[in-house]
Amino acid sequence: MELQSILYSQGFGTRRVCAGLIQQGQVMVYPHPGAEQALPCTDAAANFELQDFRFRVQGTDWRYAEKAYLMLHKPAGTECSHKPGAYPSVYTLLPAPLRQRPQKGGLQGVQAVGRLDQDTTGLLLLTDDGQFLHKMNSPRHHVPKTYAVTVKHPLQARQIQALLGGVVLDDDPTPVRAQACDQVSDMQLNLTLTQGKYHQVKRMIAAVGNRVEALHRFQIGLLTLPKNLAPGQWQWLDPSDLQLVKTATQV
């Protein structure tokens, strides 16, 4: 693929902008997968193999990815929306190319796989793979998500039993159940859900007579938020990370 087209596909702007970056000497390429040093390239039409291709734009290293799969440690006080209301968007935590990757159907950039409330922290997946996004969000696939829940009042055994047995929310007469509910302390439990209703964790806890004080999602499928990924930081999902999600969810 031509270098200009590679940059365009990775979100570095229009084809004209990408050609300009190359011609201005802002782009360097690694000549082979194991290369330690990037070399200048000012030919926008230069062709490169895409497998394991790495390049540098304005001093930052990138690798070619046909589809982007990311994890983000969502901090509190952010919204999972491109057009947020009272709080900053989580998308501002990502570099511009990830927000500008071209997509079909009028969409642009990576999209969050589901949403977390502004005060909820933890593991958030983002991708520009529409099929993966659809399957992960589909209720038919029962994607398990695990939350660390801190409550206002000491937990009681009957509350744990009710969460596992099923509680009725005000918008649906069908009981919703936790797949797993493990009490960690008097004021904290780990709750695993396979549904994604609006404010579901908070409403389930309220339905058993308690209140959520803090909510943190630390696992999706078999993928766990890395302890060394600080709030506000992101990283690529490597193939093994992606497999942890797909295997557990049968996506």
86-136 pLDDT per residue, tens: 999 999 999 999 999 998 766 789 999 989 999 999 999 999 998 898 888
Phi and psi at residue 82, to the nearest 5°: -75, -20
What's the mean pLDDT when you consider all of the chain?
A: 93
The pTM of the full predicted model, rounded to 2 decimals, is 0.93
In terms of Cα–Cα distance, which of 8, 245, 231, 5 is closest to 122? 231
The pLDDT of residue 57 is above 80: yes
Q: Is the per-residue pLDDT at 64 higher than 70?
A: yes
pLDDT for position 170: 82
pLDDT digits (tens, 9 = 90+) for 206-237: 999 999 999 999 999 999 999 999 999 999 99
pLDDT at 41: 97
**Mean pLDDT across the stretch 174-190?**
95
DSSP 8-class letter at 102 = B
Q: How much of the chain, in percent, has pLDDT values that exceed 70?
A: 98
Domains defined along the chain, listed by start: 3-63 (3.10.290), 69-140+223-249 (3.30.70.580), 144-220 (3.30.70.1560)
**pLDDT score of 172:** 77
CA 161 – CA 117 distance, rounded (Å) = 26
The first and second tokens of residue 109, run together, are 């950039």
pLDDT at 143: 87
Enzyme catalytic residues: 117
CA distance 188 to 3: 52
pLDDT at 250 over 70: no
> In which band, very low, low, confident or very high, does the pLDDT at 248 lie, cut at 50, 70 and 90?
low
pLDDT at 204 over 60: yes
**Is the torsion defined by CA of 222, 239, 95, 129 positive or negative?**
negative
Nearest to 51 by CA among 1, 98, 13, 103: 1
pLDDT of 142 > 90? The answer is: no
Structural tokens at position 183: 């009490």
